[in-house]
Every structure is written in structure tokens, then in C-alpha cells.
Amino acid sequence: MSNTAAIIGGGVIGGGWAARFLLNGWDVRVFDPDPEAQRKIGEVLDNARRSMPGLSDTALPQEGRLSFHDTMSEAVQGAEWIQESVPERLELKHKVYQTLQADCSETAVIGSSTSGFKPSELQDCATRPEQIVVTHPFNPVYLLPLIELVPTEKNSADLIARAKATLTALGMYPLHVKKEIDAHIADRFLEAVWREALWLVKDGIATTEEIDEAIRMGFGIRWAQMGLFETYRVAGGEAGMKHFMAQFGPCLKWPWTKLMDVPEFTDELVDLIAGQSDAQSGQHSIRELERIRDNNLVSMMRALKAQNWGAGAVMNAHDVRLSAEAGMVRHASDITDATQPITTVRRAVPVDWLDYNGHMTESRYLHAFADASDRLMEIIGCDQDYIATGGSFFTAETHIRHIDETHLGARIEVHTRVLMAEGKKMHLWHEMYAGDTLLATAEHILIHVSLETRRPAPFSPEIAANLEMICKAQSGLEAPEGVGRYVGAPR
């Protein structure tokens, strides 16, 4: 049975929340009086469906059900999580809470997307203030993992724990802000940079494009993977943070910033900045810019996944949860029907797997099949613990047939058979599908080796027994079409 989330306010942030819940298998109920709400959320969902599955190396759950409701009271019926994303007016938020608390479950978590208000301000005048916390996301909500979770002393430890668990299960990173403050943590940094940028434009020192280049070509990349303090710790060299602070501390007294002095928002300044921004990126529509942004974010976060670092580590942990929830086989003892091919890969095609023809490039077929072989190794007992003892499999030969093409976002599965396993050799057959369409096959010969001698060595008894069980059970299947075929051989 699906969990249910209610989204109150369907703008950019509310639509992003709807996508994050929906694509993680939740049913989503939306209330927004805007007559264009369904169209706007639909467009956000189109972007999310295109990009969000590419963050994962396993398939996302079956998408939940999306419904739109005429009243807030109707939308919150049965919801375990209620996300408020209405405009930043405190009196409006208070009115919303009074209305929805009259009809929502007393155990539901009510999260606010507010970027500035403290939770104590939101809880003021609420019927049940203990339900309300700040859960401040970052755009696009369906890609970026950070959530600033800000409670007060009125929120129970149980509610905070439930909120953290829900956000983590959505593939997000709940940053528990233990002392409330206006604008929380991240937006205070953004505000400081924004103020300085306004002065640089107003004083004619830099254009909007030059400021953006300074960020994205330099410290923005460093911040994306290491943050502020770790970046400066490294900048201090072997002496570390103390050396950095001693060396650059005096700069804090120099007139390098106008941080506390904000230029007046005159029509002239607004026109200047808007004009420069139009010249910088006006050739793209907003939807095109969103897709460019999403492609870049997915590609960067996937690079971090390979290093299991920062946002990438969050996504790797989410993949483990998704695989477990989808019932992917982790060990031979989990196989319910060994007579059939084993599903070893279930995932979507991400943006960095495409080539210049717009379909999955040939090297990524090998990538997916290699992942399938790795999963089969884990299933038979050749996991990281086993490899640490000095045994593993090396691939000796591979033959891939490319039968059909597949594109961005397509859900692919690899089904694996053990054709032979004896002595030191394992013969695998993989078939890749998108739905019922066969995309490719791969035939692999792997040799078990000693990592100490780097020479062939016999399987362990556990691996030998698991391989024998699978191979024997699958021996009744017809020989796969194409097995043993060499390059150029007639079909």
C-alpha cells in the first residue's frame, strides 16, 4: 500500500516536492487554487521523469497516483506527510495551518518549505503546533538532496525521527538545524553572496555573466563536493585550518566586501541586471534552461556517486534501499525460482549514457552488463568480504550483440543465466530488455583468480555450491539464440 503526501501550493517548489514523492512511489494529493496548477505541475513532472531516474543505478519504484483537489480539506485526507509551499506571507501560512489541521491526521508531519520564517513563527496560533516543522528544500527539489529540517522544543523526538526517516527514504539529506534562526543556514550564505553580487553589478565592476563564470568555473565546483570549511582546510596545506586562518584572517579587516551594505533596488538597477541576464541566457527558454540544469546536476552527482562522496554517497545509500524494496536478489539463498534467468540489473538510462545519436552509447551496454556480472558475483558469494580474503573473478572474454536501441530515461533490465561453472571458469549469458524488447545480449567468460598470485585458482566451496545449484536449475532452459557466436558469423 502506497504512502500518501499532500502538497499545499503547486508552484515551482510544490511541484518539485510532488515529483520527489510521486517518483518514489507515494500517492500525491495536490491543492492549489491556480487554474494553471495542473499544467505547471505537469511540466515539472515531465522534467523530473526525464532526469530523476538517471540519478539511480537501480529502478525507482512504480510511480504513485497523482490527484488534484478542489479544497485543502479534501487534499489532506489520509496524508501521512503534508508539505506546505504557499507564498512567503506569515498570515497566509497561519490561515493554511488552521484550515488543514481541522481535517488532517493528528499524526501527520506538516513540513513547510519556507526559506525564511522560523518554525516558532509558523507554530504560533496553530491548533497543534507540535505537528509543524520547517523542511526547507532546494530547487529542483526532485534532484537536490538537501533539506533543512528545523524543529522547535514543541516537536517531539518521535516526530523529528519520523521526518528524518521519510526524507531519507526519498533519497534526500535531512540537515537537522538544532537552533532556529531567520533564513536557516544555507540561504544565509546565498543572501551574503547575492548582496555582494548586486554591488559588483551596480558599481560596474562585473556583469551578471562574469559573476556566474567566476562561480561555476572556480569555487562553485569546489563547494559542490567539499563545502566551505573543508575547502579552506585543504587550502591551508599540511598545516591545515589553523594555518589558513592565520594567513587569511587579516583579510577580514580589509574592505573586500560590502556585506552589510545593500544597494537600493532602484528601477535603474533592476533594469541593468535584467538586461544583462537577458543578454547572458535569453536565447534559451526557461524550460530549456531547466533541462540544461538538470542534465548538469545529474552528471555531477553521478560523478560524486563513483567516489561515494557528498551528494553521491546519499544517492548510493538510496540505491541500496531501492534495490531492497524492489526485491532484487542479493544472495543465492534469496532466489525463489532458480530455473529462470536472474534479474541482475534494473535501472533507467541516465543522461551521461547517451551518445551523439541520442541513444545509449555502445560502451554503456558493456557497463550495464559488467554491473550484471558484478551482481551475479555477489549473489554466488563473491562479495566485498570474500574479495578481501584474496579471491575474485576476472573477465577473460566478452561478446556483445547490439540488437535494438534505447534512449534517455528508458527502464532497462538485464536477465542473467549461468551456462557453465566448473573448475576455475564461469560462463555467463546476459540479455538486456526494455519492456518486452530485447536490446542486446552479452556472453562473458570469467576466471576465478587468487588476488595474491594473480593466477587462476579454484572457487571457494560456497561459490562452487551456489554456482552448481543455479547452473543445474537453469540447465533445462533452451540454449539462448546467439550463444557461442563470433563477430561476423551469420545469424
pLDDT digits (tens, 9 = 90+) for 319-365: 999 998 888 898 999 899 999 999 999 999 999 999 999 999 999 99
Neighbouring CB atoms inside 10 A of 71's CB total 12
**CA dist., res. 104 & res. 4, Å (int):** 12
* CATH superfamily label, 328-474: Hotdog Thioesterase (3.10.129.10)
Whether the predicted pLDDT of 151 surpasses 80: yes
When mean pLDDT is compared across 13-22, 26-35, 107-116, 189-198, the lowest value belongs to 189-198
Confidence of residue 93 (pLDDT cuts 50, 70, 90): very high
Confidence of residue 1 (pLDDT cuts 50, 70, 90): low
pLDDT at 173: 96
pLDDT at 386: 96
User: What value does the mean pLDDT take over residues 282-300?
Assistant: 89
**CA dist., res. 91 & res. 106, Å (int):** 22
pLDDT at 452: 95
How crowded is the C-beta side of 354, counted as CA atoms within 13 Å? Answer: 17
Q: What is the pTM of this model?
A: 0.86
pLDDT at 236: 81
Annotated binding site for NAD(+): 9-14
Annotated binding site: 9-14
* CATH superfamily label, 4-176: NAD(P)-binding Rossmann-like Domain (3.40.50.720)
pLDDT at 326: 86
The alpha carbon of residue 192 and the mean position of all alpha carbons in its chain are separated, in whole angstroms, by 27
User: What value does the mean pLDDT take over residues 413-430?
Assistant: 96
When mean pLDDT is compared across 52-61, 262-271, 472-481, the lowest value belongs to 262-271
pLDDT at 362: 95
pLDDT at 269: 86
**Residue 128 in grid coordinates:** 497543534
Identify the DSSP state of 112: E
**CATH code linked to domain 186-283:** 1.10.1040.10
pLDDT at 172: 97
Pure H helices in 102-156 = 119-123
User: What value does the mean pLDDT take over residues 166-187?
Assistant: 96
Peptide bond into 151 cis (omega under 30): no
pLDDT digit string, tens, across residues 180-237: 999 999 999 999 999 999 999 999 999 999 999 999 888 888 888 888 888 888 888 8
Mean pLDDT of the chain: 93
pLDDT at 404: 96
Whether the predicted pLDDT of 2 surpasses 80: no
| Percent of the chain residues past pLDDT 90, beyond the cut | 78
Positions of CATH 3.10.129.10 in the chain: 328-474
